[in-house]
Amino acid sequence: MKVTVFVTPKKTVLDPQGAAVGHAMEHLNVKPSSDVRVGKTIEFELEGSDTPELRAQLEKICDGLLSNPVIEDYRYELA
Amino acid sequence: MKVTVFVTPKKTVLDPQGAAVGHAMEHLNVKPSSDVRVGKTIEFELEGSDTPELRAQLEKICDGLLSNPVIEDYRYELA
């Protein structure tokens, strides 16, 4: 089963990396009409099917390893 | 129009960050059955509608700013 985890900065948190990308875009004559948000994607495969146990394990690594719950949100897709 | 750009390391390129995440997962008793790939998402809004000119501008910033074409692939979604 393919797992894709999307980690993004919380809306309430300043995203300096996003601000820098936004400024750089303007130098290329592309003016974003909103803040730019830069996040991470983590892709991997897991043995087994979509069970509550597997989701619990996945949430454990999302919370404890793949994201910083203080400043980031995450969601995941199973395929 | 909301733009989401997904930048991922090329399949042929070693992903040290992904390898490190994979090892860390194993310490949390989660064993991925494939390589772990860590990529970036860049989200922003652009004025205007889905036109060839807008897509050309988008590809210019994807190639020139948001990704490194030598080691990374990108794709984008317009919503």
Q: How many CB pairs under 8 A join A and B?
A: 100
* Interface mutation target, options B29, B37, B61, B73, chain A, most CBs of A under 10 Å: B61
CATH number reported for the structural domain that contains residue A8 in this entry = 3.30.1280.10
How many residues appear in chain B?
Answer: 79
CA distance B1 to chain A (A): 9
pLDDT in tens, A20-75: 999 999 998 899 999 999 999 999 999 988 999 999 999 999 999 999 999 999 99
CA distance A1 to chain B (A): 9
**What's the mean per-residue pLDDT of chain A?**
93
The ipTM of this complex is 0.87
- Residue A29's domain comprises 2-78
pLDDT band at A16, cuts 50/70/90?
very high
Cβ atoms A78, A3 nearer than 8 A: yes
| Cβ pair A66:B29 closer than 8 A | no
What pLDDT does B48 receive? 87
Q: What is the mean pLDDT for each group of 10 consecutive residues in chain B (79 residues)?
A: 95 92 92 94 93 92 94 95
What pLDDT does B16 receive? 92
How many domains is chain B partitioned into structurally? 1
If 0-12 CB within 10 Å is exposed, 13-18 middle and 19+ buried, where does residue B18 land? buried
